[in-house]
Amino acid sequence: MIVIVAIYIGMLLLFLKTRKEYQEVVASIDRKEHPLYPLYPMALFIARFFDKEKGEGHRKRMEKIRQLYVNEDIPLQYQLFVAKKFAILLFCILLFNSLGACLLLTNQKQSIISNGTMKRPSYGEASYEVGLDVTVRKEDDYVKDHVSISVLPRQYTKETFDSATNEAKSYLEKTMLGNNKSFDQIQFPLNLISSIPNTALSVQWQFDHEDWIGTDGTIHNQGLTEPKQTVLTATMKGGEFKKEFQFWLTILPEQLSEEEALRAGIEHSLAAANEDTVTEEELRLPSEVGSHQVYFEESSKDDRLGLVLFAVLVLVLLYLMMEQQLMKRKEERDLELMLDYPELINKFTLLIGAGMTVKKAWAKIVMEYEERKEQDKANRRYAYEELKVTLYELNNGVAEGKAYEAFGRRMQLMPYMKFASLLAQNVTKGMDGVLAALELEALNAFEDRKELAKRLGEKAGTKLLFPMGIMFCLVMAMIIVPAMHMM
């Protein structure tokens, strides 16, 4: 409980410390898109110790963010990505901490043991199993053990409730011993069958001492200190006839170690106390077992360790999923670029073929894209956003060759890098051969686009196999079930 309270206090102090430090970041975001924004200041503070702004991992992550958020504040978007990732982890910590607190409060219910007694189920109620931690005072030492008892429900007295309960002798003598050597050495369970095979005879058993032999043939020799003799009667019935056979058995004491004997004594004392007080409202636990004093406490099952391990596993998986989500968005961006490439290269080919310079063609394509985006604000394409970045660079005085090469490096896809190389050649070698190269590239781009469409179709078909399999099973069931009813 101390750890749970410490986590709550620590997170509260951290929230108060960081809420103003990162206020600008929180104020600039769309709160519908970031529902965990109250945790972002704490998340960014913690991220400073784990998400170092150095190394290959940070560089790759920044590059993916830049590719996904073209013409936006890249440092801010990176901060929001890190904040979202760590905010989810903080939220899970709070959730599991709350679950742990609830579990702890649930386990701290009032003990069912009071003054050495346990509340017995009332008439007609079911018995319940209780785990007990027992402490045995052994001279000057204390020995601890764990036992369990099924507390029987309260029953009626003998005056108000009544109740009452064999095979060919030669066959029974062979089968009833089980693993015992002879009738004079009974230590293991007996095989008390209820009928004689291949006959119409049934068998009922009667016990001279039910404390030693159970109705299922188990031997209760735990409390014996010397061999005991008892009579087992088998009554065979066949129609209106019946006959009794008696078997004299010698029950040998159970051979136990000191610890086993002590545990058996505890369980025997518990069972005896349970049965002796079955008509009373409470079960009084024994305070002594043999020459030893015993103390009982209700066993508490602590599930918090499992919850902590589960919470750690979930946090690790969530962290990895956030990184995987960024990778998936990068793959979706690359697919969109490949789908837009044939249209883009064809536009450039047509405009340059009409006599425009590369720079003017570039500007016209960007202008048409901006007009379309004004009409449909959801139509934001990565390829054209990168074109805008390059146009800004050209208008700000960056050399054409360097701007085109930078465009190819930012795209990080071979077709775009080849396209940027063709345009850069235009600056150094002139327009000779550039148009023909663009026309050839446009043809190749459309062929690649066809192949890509085929692969996407095959992928979609593979995803449909599972629902198609389910539909097939349903159709077969609709055909087979009525046919079976007609047979």
Residue 404 C-beta-side C-alpha neighbours within 13 Å: 18
CA geometry: angle at 417 spanning 413 and 419, to 5°?
120
Smallest CA-to-CA distance from 103 within 304, 299, 300 is with: 304
Question: For residue 436, what pLDDT band results from cuts at 50, 70 and 90?
Answer: confident
Evaluate if residue 422 carries a pLDDT over 80.
yes
CA separation for the pair 90, 14 (Å, rounded): 12
According to the model, what pLDDT value does residue 274 have? Answer: 86
Helices (H), 133-248: 169-175
Q: By the 8 A CB rule, do 273 and 286 touch?
A: yes
- With tokens 């409470």, the residue in question is 282
Q: Which amino acid is at 360?
A: K
pLDDT of residue 162: 34
Of the listed ranges 272-281, 301-310, 409-418, the one predicted with least confidence: 301-310
Kindly state the tokens that stand for 317: 């998986």
Q: How confident is the model at residue 298 (pLDDT cuts 50, 70, 90)?
A: confident
Cα distance between residue 85 and residue 88, in whole Å: 5
Q: What is the rounded distance in angstroms from the CA atom of residue 189 to the CA atom of residue 125?
A: 31
What is the arithmetic mean of pLDDT over 185-200? 77
Q: Would you say 234 and 244 are in contact if contact means Cβ atoms under 8 Å apart?
A: yes
Distances (CA, A) of 288 to 262, 265, 368, 470: 11, 10, 95, 65
pLDDT tens profile 29-82: 776 777 787 787 787 777 777 766 566 777 777 778 777 777 777 777 777 787
Long-range contacts of 272-281 (CB under 8 A, 24+ apart): 274/149, 274/151, 274/152, 275/152, 277/120, 278/120, 278/152, 278/154, 278/155, 279/154, 279/155, 279/156, 279/157, 280/120, 280/154, 281/119, 281/120, 281/154
Tens-digit pLDDT profile for residues 144-189: 888 888 888 766 553 433 332 345 677 777 888 887 878 887 877 8
Question: pLDDT category, 487, cuts 50, 70, 90?
Answer: low
